[in-house]
């Protein structure tokens, strides 16, 4: 990755890291990696193949051979647009489960690293700065309280015309946080060289500005 500009944004589910990373990538004219989409795609592909999310070996084989393409705003699995499907709450639960497996994470590692090109890259996920891009020039850990994140997810679902239960969403996020933090393979945590950005009281524009300012400061120091 020598010479490639990489900004890694990690954080818990519904912390807003995807929206922030996309906006930052647009401003910097960098490529964008939504690593969570790969785990959601793996969970969806496993479901469609009749493979249980607790079957590490079989799920890892599916991850290894994922037929996926990213075309602008669309995500294609085996040629089918699954952009909306992979954002469902049920597939999110599956993604969190399969992401706990070392074999699945290893199967997707090279695919994620391939997104880094001379164009530059903004990558978001759970282990972008710790495992996938440990030499990233800037690492940010983006977070917010579970209550704020649940409210954001609730509003997203309502905006899409889906039914939503705020209390259930809050419980689910807390369960995902515990599962992601407790896993032995690439656990979710703020690493020592990552900048903490707590966004509970900030809107999207403010968070994007904070990230861009941090990137500018970091680049000036190199």
Could you give the angle at which helices 166-182 and 89-98 cross, rounded to 10 degrees? 10
Q: Does the annotation place 94 within a ligand binding site? A: no
Q: Does the annotation place 19 within a ligand binding site? A: yes
Q: Does the annotation place 11 within a ligand binding site? A: yes
User: Rounded to the nearest 5°, which phi and psi values hold at 190?
Assistant: -80, 120
Q: Does the annotation place 15 within a ligand binding site? A: yes
User: Rounded to the nearest 5°, which phi and psi values hold at 184?
Assistant: -75, -30
Q: Does the annotation place 129 within a ligand binding site? A: no
Q: Which two tokens stand for residue 146?
A: 């579970």
Beta strand segments in the chain, E: 6-10, 31-34, 68-71, 74-77, 80-81, 121-125, 138-143, 195-198
Q: Does the annotation place 14 within a ligand binding site? A: yes
Q: Which two tokens stand for residue 195?
A: 């900048």
Q: Does the annotation place 12 within a ligand binding site? A: yes
Q: Does the annotation place 52 within a ligand binding site? A: no
Q: Does the annotation place 18 within a ligand binding site? A: yes
Which residues are annotated binding-site positions? Answer: 11-19
Which residues are annotated binding-site positions for ATP? Answer: 11-19
């Amino acid at each position: 990755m020598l010479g490639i500009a990489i900004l890694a944004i990690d954080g818990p589910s519904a912390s807003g890291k995807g929206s922030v990373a996309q906006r930052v990538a647009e401003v910097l004219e960098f490529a964008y990696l939504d690593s969570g989409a790969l785990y959601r795609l793996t969970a969806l592909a496993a479901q469609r193949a009749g493979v249980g999310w607790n079957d590490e070996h079989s799920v890892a084989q599916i991850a290894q051979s994922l037929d996926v393409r990213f075309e602008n705003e669309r995500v294609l699995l085996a040629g089918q647009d699954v952009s909306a499907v992979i954002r469902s709450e049920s597939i999110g639960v599956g993604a969190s489960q399969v992401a706990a497996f070392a074999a699945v994470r290893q199967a997707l590692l090279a695919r994620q690293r391939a997104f880094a090109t001379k164009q530059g890259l903004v990558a978001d996920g759970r282990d972008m700065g710790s495992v996938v891009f440990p030499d990233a020039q800037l690492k940010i850990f983006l977070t917010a309280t579970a209550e704020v994140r649940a409210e954001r997810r609730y509003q997203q679902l309502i905006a899409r015309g889906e039914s939503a239960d705020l209390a259930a969403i809050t419980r689910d996020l807390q369960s995902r946080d515990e599962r992601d933090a407790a896993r032995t393979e690439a656990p979710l945590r703020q690493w020592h060289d990552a900048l903490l950005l707590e966004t509970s009281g900030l809107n999207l524009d403010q968070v994007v500005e904070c990230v861009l300012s941090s990137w500018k400061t970091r680049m000036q120091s190199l």
